[in-house]
Structure 1
Amino acid sequence: MDPNGRGVVELWMKLADEVPAGDWTIVAKIMGKEEEKTFTVDDYVLPRFETEVIIPSFGLSYDPLLKITVKATYTFGQPVTDGAVKIAIMRTYGGPGAPILYKKGMLSKDGTLTIEVSTKEIRAAINGDRSLSWQSIKVTADVTERQTGRVQSSTASLQYFDTPLVLRYVNEVAPKNFKPGLPYTIYTEVRKQDGTRFTEEEYKEMTIYFNVTYDVPLTKEEIEENLNASSSGNSGGSVSSSGSLIADIDPIGRSDYMYQKNKLAMVRLDEAQRAQSVPANGWVTLTFDVPMDALMVNIQAWSGKPYKEIKLFKTLSRAVSPSESFLQLHVGTEKPMVGKEFTVTAKATDAMPMLTYQVFAKGALLHTKEVPTGNRSSVDFSFMVTRDMTPTISLVAFYIRDQNYEVVVDALSLSVDGLFQKPITIEFSKQEAEPGDDVEVIVKAPTDSLVYLLSADKSAVLLKGGNDLTQDDVTRDMAEYSFGGGFSPWEFMFICGWPSRFRGYDAFTVLQNAGVVFLSDAWVYAQLASTNQRYPTMPEDAMGGINEAAGPDINDDFKDVAAADVVRKFFPEVWLWEISYITDDSGGQVSIPTTVPDTLTTWITTGFSLHPDFGLSITEKPTELVVSRPMFITLDLPMSIIRGENYCFTATIFSYYNATIPIRVTLDKSSKFSNIHVGIDQRKIKLTTESAYYSYFLGDVEPNEMRSVKYCFVPTELGEIPVKVSALTNVQGLSDAVERIIICKVKAHH
C-alpha cells in the first residue's frame, strides 16, 4: 500500500458515467485515526472569471461615504471589460424581506467599477434612518459578462463602529488566576477594529493607562467599625495606614453575602507603568507584583486621546494552595526552535528543594529532568528542542515541599518553530506562457526527498476548493494531538508566538488542563467545589445583451487569412499530478520538463515533500503560471445538450495584439449537428438548417478589444460532439482554433 515507504498512499477510483449528483465523502482510517474529504459530483461549467468586492474592512458611523469597488478578472489574468454590475447593500442579519439598497453600473476598461454611497443613504434605506453604529452590512455584486450572459457573484461584509480603536486583553496567554507573591503580566492588544495595526506614527500618538486594585480581608476592628458606621447611617471610604486608598465593601454585613468582607487597595504602579506609550507591534505589557494578602485583583485599562476613550476591565481570582506556596515559569521572547537550546526560568514563593520539569508533545512525554536548585527560590534550566516537539509542547514544572509533601506546579504551552524543517519551493522556468509551450517545473528540496506536485486550473479552484494540503492544515492536525479539536490556545500562539499558561486555580486543575495524569504519593491539592467559595471566580469578560455579429462572411477582400497552427483540444482541470525524487547528486533540485495545456488560465501549483530525516514539508504558498495568447477565442458551452433541440452558444474573441487586425470566426461543419441559419424571406424570419461551415467577419478589431458572435445548431447524434471554432486573421501565427466536446443526451421522460 505504501510503495515508496514514505507514508503516502495514492489510490484512485473512476466514477461511472451516471452517478447521483451531490456531495460524496472519502473516508480514510489508519491506526485508530479517521480523516475525511468531501467532493461534489454535478454537471458544471467552469467559471471564466472571478469577481471581487472591495470595501473597507470596517466602517465608522461618522464617515460620510462608503467606497465600493467591484473588480472582475478572467482566469488568464486580463480584466473583464464588458460587464454589467448590480450591487445590493443590506444588513448582514436582516433575514427575508429586509430592505435592500441597489446600485448599478458598468465595468471600465480596467475591469473595475467604483462607486461612493453616502452613509446617510445607507442608513435611510436599510436601517430605518438609525445610526449604523455596531450594525453589520454586506455588499453583494453580480457581474454579468455581456458577451455570454454568464454571472459571477461576490460578497463582502463590514461592521460599523464609533471609533477605529479597539483594546483587548490577550486572555489566551494570561491566566485567569494570579499567584500571590509572584509577578503577574497582562498583555493588552491595541489594534484597529479589523485586527490590523496602526502605523508606527499613529501608535506614537497613543497612550494606554492602567489602574490595578486588589481586595484584602478586613480586620476584625475594621468590620466592627464599618458595622457601627452603617448603624449610624454613615458609610464611605478611608485611607489605609500605608497610604493606599480603601473603599468599604458590603458595610451592611448581610448574611446572604457569600464572600468574606474585604476592602479595596491599589497596587502601586510607577509612572512608566501607569501611562504607557504603544510600541510599533501594538502590544502593551504590564507586569506587577501581587501582594501575598490579595484575594482578588482588578485590572483596568483605558485609552486617551486622540481616539474616543475605551475602557477594559479584568478580574483575577486567587490561585489556591494550602501552604500558600506557588511556582511560576518565565520564558523570553524567542520561540523554541528545533535544534536549539531553550531556556526557562522558574520562580517560587519559597525555597525549592529540587525542581522537576517535563516536556510533552502530541500526548507523549518526550523529556524529563531534575534540576538542583541549591535551595533557592529561582532557578534557570534548559533543554534541547527536537523535531518531535513540533508544533507545540506542554512544559510542566513542579517541586515537592518537604514540610507537607505538597506538589507546587506550573505549566506552559509553547509553539515550536521547525515543524517544516526544510522548505520545498516550486517555480516555473517562465512566469507566462502560451498553450503548447515547453516549460520546466523546478523543484528545490533536500536530497533524498520524495516530492508530490499538483497543478490545478484556477477556474476549478474558483468553482470549489479546499481539498489541497496546506501548512495550516497540518499544523492544526498535529496540534490536535495535544489539545483536541475546536478553538484552543494553540491557535493564538501561532499568531503571536507567546506562551499560553494552562489555567487552573490549584495544582490539580493546572495538571488536568495540561493533560497530565500525575501519579504520586505526594499531595496534589484540589480545592473542593462549593457554592460558598471563599474566593469566587469572576466571569471573563444582467443587464445588456449579446453584441451582434457583423453577419455571415461575404467580404472577399479578406484574402490573406492564416490558419491556426494548432487546434487547442487539451483542457484538463488538473495538469500536473507528479511524483519526483530528489537524488543525492542533484544538488537539492530537480527540473521536470512538461508541456503547457491548451487552457487559457492561471495554473495554481502546490507541492509537498517527504524526507526520512526531516519529515514533511509543504510549499508555503502556491506558484502561479499564467497562460494566454495575443489573440484567442473562447466558447461558452454547457456540459450537455438534448438531441433534436435547438441550441445557441457564444464564441468570444479577445485581442491583446499590439495592432488593429481583421478577424473572421468560423464554425466547422459536422455530421453530428446541423447549423441553424436565420434569414429573411419576404419580410418574414426564416430558419433553415444544414451541415455546413458558418463564418462571420468581425471587421477590424482594436487592441484590448473583445468581440462575440452567436452560433445556433441542432444536435443530431448522441454521445460526444466535437465543436470546432476558429478565429482567423492575416498575421502569421496569431490565428487561434478551439475544439471542445459537448455531450448530447436523450431527453428524459418522467
Structure 2
Amino acid sequence: MSKPPKLFFKTKLILFILINLLIFNKLFAAENVGGEINKEEINEKEEGEDNTSTSTQISTTITTPIPKNYVGSYLVIAPKIVRSRLPYAVSVNILRSSEPDHIVRVEIRDSRNETIAARVVSNVKTGIPQTITVDSLPEEGLLTEEQYSVYVKAETLLVQYLKILPQFVLVKKVLVFLSKLTKQFIKPGSDVHYRVIVVTPELTPYSEPVSLYIEDPNQNRIVDTPKIELKKGVHSGELTLSSEPPLGIWRIFVTTKSGQKFNKEFTVERYVLPKFEVNIKTPTYITINDSLDVTIIAKYTYGNGVAGKVKIRLELPFPRWSIHSLQHQPKLENGGIEKTLKLNPIGETFIHFDNQELRERKLIMDYGGSTLRLIAEVVEELTEQTRNSSAQLTIYEYDVKLELEKQGETFKPGLPYSVVIALKQMDDSPIKSSLPRRVHLTTFYFFLSTSTQEEKEVKILELNAHGTAIMQLLPPLNCSNFRVEASYDRSGHDNFTNSPIYSSLYVEAAKSPSQSFLQVNADNQGIVDAGKTLSFSVKCTEPMTSSLTYQVVARGIVVLSEQIAFPQEGQTNALINFEATPQMAPKARLVVYAIRSKNKEIIVDAVDFKVEGLFRNNVTLTSNVNQASPGEPIKFSVHASPNSFVGLLAIDQSVLLLKSGNDLTKELVEQDLEEYDTTSSGNRFWGDFRMKRRARSIWYPFWGVGGRDANSIFKNSGLIVLTDAYLYSEPESSNF
C-alpha cells in the first residue's frame, strides 16, 4: 500500500483547525448574547416545523456574569404555579425586533415534552407588552406536584424570530374544599350530618363529580361512594352510627378526578352535654411590681349564672429548677396558690393575688419574662357537675415596649426608606395617654469604598396619639448598610443614654450594577373595597426614557397587565391607578418594572395590598324573634342572589362547649384562598396582619416586597422571568 502524500495530511489538519475555530467562535458569540448556555437539550416536538428556517435560540439563564452587551429583545413574565381548570396568563414583551408584528405561541408542556395546553395570539406589537392567557387548563392533563414547563415562541409570517427555552413550573392546589358538620362530637347511635362544598378560587361551584368515603379510627371504609354529582358545588349526606362504633377520630375524604384530596375529622365519643360554661377574665400581662386581679364567670347556655363554688389555682406552667449548691441535687420549685370561693347570684366571683404573695411563692422573678397559668374548676351546687377552664398571662419587667419595623429587608440607595417607630403596651395595644411619647433615634450610615466609613444622624421624634411615627430616611447612593437605634425614657426626663427600653434594626442596600433602582409605594391606607380606585406612586433614581409596565398578581394568577409612560421625558416620578376588583381579594401584589436603555438592565419593585370584596353574593339572615319558648315557631328570612344554594344549620349551643370548628367562617375561606398565593413573604407585616389590626388604634402601612436584587424581587413575587435583557442577580456570598 502506498503512503498518502504529505499535502493531504496538511490539508486535513488545516480543515480540522478551522472547524474547531468556528465551533469556538459560535460558542463565544452565544455566551455574549444570552449568558450561560443551557446544557439541557429540549426536544421541541412541533408538527410541520421547518428545521431549515432561520431561528435564534436564546438561553434563559438569569444569574450570569455581566457580559459587555445584552440583546434586550424580549421579556416574558409568568406565574411559577400552574393550576388546572384555571387560566394561565403570560406577559410577553417583544422589546426589540425588525418586524412590527409577531405571532406568539405559549404552551404548557409535560415532562415528556408533550403539549398539555396552548394559545396562539397574532398582532403582538414590538415594544408593547401583551398578556396571553391559556384558558382553563385541563384537569385530567395536570398532576399535582408534577413539574411542567412554559414554552414561548415568537415569529413573523416569513421567519421564526425567537424561541425562548422553557422554565419549569409546578402544579399546585386548584380547588377550594369546605366542609360543614352539625357538630364535632358525635354519640354512638347518632346521625352524622355533613355537607361538602367544592368551589374554584373564584368561589364559583365545581361541576365535575367527586368521590367520597368515610373511614373509622381503624381505617376501615364505612362509606365508599365513587361518584357523587354535586349540586351547585355542594353535596349533603348523613351516616347513622351503630350503637357500638369504634370510638375516636373518624374522617371524611373527598377526591376529584385529578387526584386532589380533602378530609374532615369528627370525633365519636360518649359524652354528656355540658350545661354551663366557665370563663376566666384576666389581664394579658402584668409587670413584676403589679398585683393580679381575676374574675371567674360561670353561666348556663341560656345566660343565667351558675350556683356553686369555684376552686382556682395559680401556678407556673412548667416546674422551675434551681441548683442551691453543687453538692445537692436540683430542687423542684413549683410554688402555687390555691383558693376556693363561692359564686355570687350572677355566677361570678372576684379574686385578688397580692404582689408580695406572688413573690413569696416565687411566681414573680425580678427580671420578669415568666408565665403564669390559672386553672378554674366550677362545681354546680345541685348536680355537682364540674366544668373547668384555664388561662395564661405573662409577667414583664416593664409595661411598654419599643419596636422598629422595616419597610423592607433591603433599602434602595438614592430612594426614601421608611421606618415605623411603635411604642406599645406588652400586649400590642396602644399606650396610655398619660405616658411620655418622645423617642431618641440614631441612624448610622456605613460605606465600603470611601474615606468616610460612617455617618450619623440623631433626632428626637414625638409619637402620635396612638404611639406611632414614621421616620423617613434617604440613604446616600454609596451607602452599603445602615443601623437605627431607638431608646425611650418612661420617666419623661429624656434620659435616653441608659434607658432599658430600647430597640434597633439593621438594613442592607439592594444591589444593582448601575446603582439604578425603582420604588413603588401604595397611596391608599389600609384595606380598599372592590370597585374603588387604587393609587401607587413610582420613583426612580434616574430619569427614565422607557415606559413602565405593571402587573397585578392575585391567588397565583396575573389578573392585570398594563403599560404607562412617564408624564414627561426625563422625569423620575410616575403614578399608577387602577380599579380594585373582587379577583384581587383578599390580597394581591403589584409588580412594576422598567428597562434601562443604556445597558438593558431591568429595574423592578413590588408591593402588597389588600382588597375587601371576596364574597360577591351578599347573604343576610334575619328572624322574627330574638327569644322564643319551647314549641314556639320561629320564622327565618334569607336574602341572596337569584338561584343561590342556601344551607342552614341550627344547633344547641351547648354542643359548641365541647368542641367548635364544625362550621364555616369567613376567616376559614380566606385562609384557604391564601394557599393559592405563590409569593414569598419579603416583608414581615403580612403574616401577622390580623394581629396588628386587632390593636385598634395602631395602623401599619403595607410595605414593598423584599429582595436584594431585581431577580429576587421577581422570585419573591411568585413569578418566573424569561429574558435576554439584564436581570441582575447578586452572587451568593461564601462564609467560611
TM-score, with structure 1 as normaliser: 0.61
Equivalent residue for 1:46, pick from 253, 260, 273: 273
RMSD: 2.5
For the residues of structure 2 that align with 1:263 and 1:365, how far apart are their CA atoms? 44
Query: What is the correspondence of 1:717-728 to structure 2 with a 5 Å cutoff?
Result: none
2:625 matched residue in structure 1: 430
2:390 matched residue in structure 1: 155
2:661 matched residue in structure 1: 466
**Letter in structure 1 aligned against 2:456:** M
Once the two structures are TM-superposed, the CA of residue 309 in structure 1 deviates from its matched residue by 4.9
Matched, 1:519 2:722: yes
1:77 matched residue in structure 2: 303
Contact 1:411–1:501 (CA under 8 A) maintained in structure 2: yes
Contact 2:679–2:718 (CA under 8 A) maintained in structure 1: no
Contact 2:252–2:265 (CA under 8 A) maintained in structure 1: yes
For the residues of structure 2 that align with 1:498 and 1:11, how far apart are their CA atoms? 46
Contact 2:373–2:390 (CA under 8 A) maintained in structure 1: yes
CA-to-partner distance for each residue in 1:87-128, whole Å, 9 max, x for gaps?
11111233898333211111111211111111222222244x
1:278 matched residue in structure 2: 463
1:216 matched residue in structure 2: 447
Equivalent residue for 2:404, pick from 152, 169, 173: 169
SS in 2 for 1:214: strand
2:456 matched residue in structure 1: 266
SS in 2 for 1:438: coil
2:635 matched residue in structure 1: 440
Query: What is the correspondence of 1:307-322 to structure 2 with a 5 Å cutoff?
Result: 309-322=500-513
CA-to-partner distance for each residue in 1:47-84, whole Å, 9 max, x for gaps?
11000111111111111x21111110001110002x11
Q: Given the superposition, is the C-alpha separation of residues 401 and 162 from structure 1 closer, same or farther in structure 2, using an over 3 Å criterion?
A: same
Contact 1:342–1:385 (CA under 8 A) maintained in structure 2: yes
1:20 matched residue in structure 2: 246
**Letter in structure 2 aligned against 1:60:** T
Matched, 1:185 2:418: yes
Matched, 1:390 2:585: yes
For the residues of structure 1 that align with 2:475 and 2:684, how far apart are their CA atoms? 28
CA-to-partner distance for each residue in 1:309-332, whole Å, 9 max, x for gaps?
511100001100011011100111
Size of the aligned set, in residue pairs, is 480
Once the two structures are TM-superposed, the CA of residue 483 in structure 1 deviates from its matched residue by 4.6
For the residues of structure 1 that align with 2:410 and 2:242, how far apart are their CA atoms? 60
CA-to-partner distance for each residue in 1:415-441, whole Å, 9 max, x for gaps?
111113454333332222211112222
Contact 1:414–1:493 (CA under 8 A) maintained in structure 2: no
Once the two structures are TM-superposed, the CA of residue 40 in structure 1 deviates from its matched residue by 0.8
Equivalent residue for 1:363, pick from 556, 571, 577: 556
Q: Given the superposition, is the C-alpha separation of residues 490 and 20 from structure 1 closer, same or farther in structure 2, using an over 3 Å criterion?
A: same
Once the two structures are TM-superposed, the CA of residue 135 in structure 1 deviates from its matched residue by 1.1
CA-to-partner distance for each residue in 1:269-297, whole Å, 9 max, x for gaps?
6xxxx333332344321112111111111
For the residues of structure 1 that align with 2:408 and 2:598, how far apart are their CA atoms? 28
Matched, 1:508 2:711: yes
For the residues of structure 2 that align with 1:161 and 1:193, how far apart are their CA atoms? 8
Q: Given the superposition, is the C-alpha separation of residues 280 and 422 from structure 1 closer, same or farther in structure 2, using an over 3 Å criterion?
A: farther
For the residues of structure 1 that align with 2:442 and 2:260, how far apart are their CA atoms? 49
CA-to-partner distance for each residue in 1:230-255, whole Å, 9 max, x for gaps?
xxxxxxxxxxxxxxxxxxxxxxxxxx
**Letter in structure 1 aligned against 2:250:** W
Once the two structures are TM-superposed, the CA of residue 413 in structure 1 deviates from its matched residue by 1.7
SS in 2 for 1:404: coil
1:197 matched residue in structure 2: 430
Once the two structures are TM-superposed, the CA of residue 407 in structure 1 deviates from its matched residue by 0.9
Matched, 1:351 2:554: no
**Letter in structure 1 aligned against 2:585:** T
Matched, 1:297 2:475: no
Once the two structures are TM-superposed, the CA of residue 139 in structure 1 deviates from its matched residue by 0.5
Matched, 1:324 2:515: yes
TM-score, with structure 2 as normaliser: 0.62
CA-to-partner distance for each residue in 1:534-591, whole Å, 9 max, x for gaps?
xxxxxxxxxxxxxxxxxxxxxxxxxxxxxxxxxxxxxxxxxxxxxxxxxxxxxxxxxx
Q: Given the superposition, is the C-alpha separation of residues 99 and 32 from structure 1 closer, same or farther in structure 2, using an over 3 Å criterion?
A: farther
Once the two structures are TM-superposed, the CA of residue 132 in structure 1 deviates from its matched residue by 6.6
Once the two structures are TM-superposed, the CA of residue 42 in structure 1 deviates from its matched residue by 0.4
For the residues of structure 1 that align with 2:719 and 2:659, how far apart are their CA atoms? 41
Equivalent residue for 2:347, pick from 111, 119, 125: 111
Q: Given the superposition, is the C-alpha separation of residues 524 and 218 from structure 1 closer, same or farther in structure 2, using an over 3 Å criterion?
A: closer
**Letter in structure 2 aligned against 1:124:** E
Looking at CA atoms only, which structure, 1 or 2, has the larger radius of gyration? 1
1:240 matched residue in structure 2: none
Contact 1:343–1:383 (CA under 8 A) maintained in structure 2: yes
SS in 2 for 1:501: coil
For the residues of structure 2 that align with 1:146 and 1:47, how far apart are their CA atoms? 15
Once the two structures are TM-superposed, the CA of residue 36 in structure 1 deviates from its matched residue by 2.6
SS in 1 for 2:657: helix
Equivalent residue for 2:372, pick from 128, 131, 137: 137
Matched, 1:404 2:635: no
Consecutive unaligned residues of structure 1, counting only runs of 5 or more, are 223-261, 534-750
Q: Given the superposition, is the C-alpha separation of residues 191 and 29 from structure 1 closer, same or farther in structure 2, using an over 3 Å criterion?
A: farther
1:99 matched residue in structure 2: 335
For the residues of structure 1 that align with 2:469 and 2:264, how far apart are their CA atoms? 42
Contact 1:207–1:305 (CA under 8 A) maintained in structure 2: no
Q: Percent identity?
A: 28
SS in 2 for 1:105: strand
CA-to-partner distance for each residue in 1:581-628, whole Å, 9 max, x for gaps?
xxxxxxxxxxxxxxxxxxxxxxxxxxxxxxxxxxxxxxxxxxxxxxxx
2:731 matched residue in structure 1: 528
Of 38-47 and 331-340, more deviation after overlay is shown by: 331-340
For the residues of structure 1 that align with 2:642 and 2:229, how far apart are their CA atoms? 19
SS in 2 for 1:510: helix
**Letter in structure 2 aligned against 1:509:** S
For the residues of structure 2 that align with 1:349 and 1:485, how far apart are their CA atoms? 26
Once the two structures are TM-superposed, the CA of residue 134 in structure 1 deviates from its matched residue by 1.2
**Letter in structure 2 aligned against 1:527:** E
Contact 1:330–1:344 (CA under 8 A) maintained in structure 2: yes
Contact 1:213–1:298 (CA under 8 A) maintained in structure 2: yes
1:340 matched residue in structure 2: 532
Q: Given the superposition, is the C-alpha separation of residues 168 and 293 from structure 1 closer, same or farther in structure 2, using an over 3 Å criterion?
A: same
Consecutive unaligned residues of structure 2, counting only runs of 5 or more, are 1-208, 210-227, 321-331, 493-498, 694-698
